[in-house]
Amino acid sequence: MNISSFDDLLQAARQQSEPQRLLFVFAGADLPEDSTPAQREQFLAGQGGALVPLMYVDKTPEELHTFADLVQESHQFGKEWSIVFAAALSGSGGLAPTSQAAEKPLERMVEAIKAGTLGTFIPFDRQGQPVMLG
């Protein structure tokens, strides 16, 4: 299925043969200390910078009805984010993975984002639209 919106992600997760747990890592943009003057100028214009993971959460598709629900929950943490990365963890035997089972995969997502290895995640902007990074 082509994921062209957050709603598509929820629909795809609900249609899988095994229950899913959705993993989300919220990230903000930051300017590295060793940035050049040109990079600083671009960053101030709203481009460039480095993605910095700020917080993460896991949810079953049934716990999350809309992107607005996810955004609302993110406000509880008091951190401004620019992009949210999504991935799914598949269950087995008709049971969705637990939040405890999602902890290590979420930590690996955080480390992958820090390293710039984003290929297996779907990034969404603050409006729930997929973002092309590169």
At residue 78, the 3 state secondary structure works out as coil
How much is the pLDDT for 134? 63
What pTM did the predictor assign? 0.87
pLDDT at residue 4 is higher than 80: yes
CA-wise closest residue to 60 among 38, 91, 17, 30: 91
CB contact set of 13 (below 8 Å; sequence gap of 6+): 20, 22, 61, 88
How much is the pLDDT for 29? 81
CA-wise closest residue to 77 among 50, 54, 108: 54
Check if the beta carbon of residue 131 is closer than 8 Å to that of residue 48.
no
pLDDT at residue 44 is higher than 90: no
Residues in the chain: 134
How much is the pLDDT for 124? 95
- What is the pLDDT confidence band of residue 51, given thresholds at 50, 70 and 90? confident
pLDDT at residue 20 is higher than 80: yes
pLDDT at residue 71 is higher than 80: yes
CA distance linking residue 74 with residue 85, whole number of Å? 13
